[in-house]
Structures are given as C-alpha cells and as structure tokens.
C-alpha cells in the first residue's frame, strides 16, 4: 500500500515496488492520478489497484484496504507518503490550516498503520516506511505547521519501531530533502521560498534537486528483505543537506 501514489515520490515508489514484483495499492485522494499510475503499472506488466481515499478519513482508508486485500491478499508493506504542504508565516497560520495538515500528515499515517497492522501481525512480517521531511530536522521557515507534522512522523516511527519490533515488523522513515516533485515545482513556481531555490541548492553538498526515483530507491530498500535488521531509523535522502 502506497499512499499519495498519484504523483511524485509516492508514484515513483509504487512504480518501483511493482517493478520488484509486488502487487501495489496505489492510493491517492486524486482519482485521476491514482488511476493513471495504476494503469501505467498494469500496462508495464505489473499488478496495481487504484484506490481513492482521503487518508485522514478512517472509513475511506478501511474501504480502500479492504479492496486491496480482496484483490491481492494481506497488506504487508505500507509506504506512508501522502501529505499536504503549506507555506505560511507562523503568525498567520490558522487553526483550520494547522488541523488540516495534522489530519493528513500525522493522523493519516497513524490511521493507515492501524488499518493494515492486523495483516502484518497475522503474518509476523511487516515493513512500514513513513515519509518525513528535512524541515523536521533542520527547521523550515514558513512551514512550522508542516515541519511539526513531520516531526510527529519521526517520533511515531521510533515508537512504533520499539512497539512492533518483537512482532517482526520494521518501521523506518525516509526524510526527503529538496526533491523534484510536482509539489516542489508548485512551490518553486509560486515563489514560496524565502530565498531563491537556486541559492538553497547551491549550499548543498550535492547541489541539485533530488529525484523521486532516489526517494523510491530508499523506500524500497527499507521495504526489502535486505533491511530486516534495520528499524527505527531515519534516512535522509537530501544530498547531504542535513546529516
């Protein structure tokens, strides 16, 4: 199950998991995006099911999980990628805005884990990868609410790792830096960063935008059998911007 799989990093991760031979639930709130990604996987010979749900809505997530189980069996890998971002100076953040980001980014991840967990417990094997963000590590101006949700994701990852480790379930986080995704392009095009983005990149050890495929590679590594002794870890895929 990959959430936010209709575009960007989630899409790249779903594609990659499918290439590795795994049937994939392509979940997104954007129906067209989910269906296009699933169709591309299916056309390429993989197995995919488009699922439309708002991750902050438990009933919708339960419905999507049930469809995925019916199609492909127990859900043993979860990539919690769906997230909203928003740029806003701190004094102007409204409670509605705060609550919406918390609902999607943090409560959504929590709901997803709870909904698919019985499958993992039953099989005694599971892989959960939660996407956090560099802003939670370094701080991010005009993104206090967003960074706070991602900080919550990191704390949730560690606590889940400790609680679920004895059950054979690993829980790790990939923390993307500045990645070339539709979400980042909207921010660049909207001139939403406090300094020109080229200036941000110039300060990075690897001075370029990361790619969605590079995030997908890290997610799939954590999801693989190879990473069976890794849990509770935060892997920055950020070109060295935060170490």
User: Does 204 participate in catalysis according to the annotation?
Assistant: no
The residues pairing with 170 across neighbouring beta strands, listed in sequence order, are 127
Marked catalytic residue, from 146, 197, 204, 229:
146
User: Is the Cβ of residue 98 or residue 125 nearer to other proteins in the bound state?
Assistant: 125
Q: Cα(180)–Cα(13) distance, rounded to whole angstroms?
A: 14
Q: Cα(10)–Cα(48) distance, rounded to whole angstroms?
A: 13
User: Is the Cβ of residue 88 or residue 183 nearer to other proteins in the bound state?
Assistant: 183
Which pairing describes strands 48-52 and 77-80: parallel, antiparallel, or unpaired?
A: unpaired
Three-state SS at 48 = strand
User: Is the Cβ of residue 91 or residue 203 nearer to other proteins in the bound state?
Assistant: 203
Residues of this chain that interact with other proteins (CB under 8 A) are 158, 161-162, 165-166, 168, 170, 177, 204-207, 210-211, 214, 217-218, 221, 224, 226-240, 242-243
What is the nearest approach in angstroms of other proteins to the Cβ of residue 77? 17
State both tokens at 129.
Answer: 């990868």
What is the nearest approach in angstroms of other proteins to the Cβ of residue 2? 18
What is the nearest approach in angstroms of other proteins to the Cβ of residue 172? 9
* Residue 194 near residue 141 (C-beta atoms within 8 A): yes
What is the nearest approach in angstroms of other proteins to the Cβ of residue 90? 27
What is the nearest approach in angstroms of other proteins to the Cβ of residue 231? 4
Q: Cα(234)–Cα(143) distance, rounded to whole angstroms?
A: 20
User: Is the Cβ of residue 29 or residue 79 nearer to other proteins in the bound state?
Assistant: 79
Neighbouring residues of 128: CB distance < 8 A, sequence distance ≥ 6: 77, 78, 80, 113, 120, 157, 160, 164, 169, 170, 171, 172
Q: Cα(155)–Cα(159) distance, rounded to whole angstroms?
A: 6
User: Is the Cβ of residue 2 or residue 174 nearer to other proteins in the bound state?
Assistant: 174
Catalytic residues: 146
């Amino acid at each position: 199950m990959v959430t936010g799989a209709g575009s960007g990093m989630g899409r790249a991760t779903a594609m990659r998991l499918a290439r590795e031979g795994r049937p994939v639930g392509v979940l997104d709130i954007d129906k067209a995006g989910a269906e296009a990604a699933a169709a591309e996987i299916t056309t390429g010979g993989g197995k995919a099911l488009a699922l439309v749900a708002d991750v902050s809505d438990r009933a919708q997530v339960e419905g999507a999980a049930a469809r995925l189980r019916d199609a492909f069996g127990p859900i043993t890998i979860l990539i919690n990628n769906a997230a909203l971002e928003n740029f806003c100076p701190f004094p102007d953040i409204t409670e509605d805005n705060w609550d919406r980001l918390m609902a999607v980014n943090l409560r959504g991840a929590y709901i997803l884990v709870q909904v698919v967990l019985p499958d993992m417990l039953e099989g005694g094997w599971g892989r959960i990868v939660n996407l956090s963000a560099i802003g939670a590590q370094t701080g991010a101006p005009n993104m206090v609410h967003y960074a706070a949700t991602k900080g919550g994701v990191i704390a949730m990852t560690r606590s889940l790792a400790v609680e679920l480790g004895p059950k054979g379930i690993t829980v790790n986080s990939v923390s993307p830096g500045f990645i070339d995704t539709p979400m980042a392009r909207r921010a660049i095009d909207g001139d939403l960063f406090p300094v020109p983005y080229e200036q941000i990149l110039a300060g990075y050890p690897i001075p370029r935008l990361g790619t969605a495929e590079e995030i997908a590679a890290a997610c799939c590594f954590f999801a693989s059998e190879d990473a069976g002794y890794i849990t509770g870890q935060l892997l920055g895929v950020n070109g060295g911007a935060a170490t």
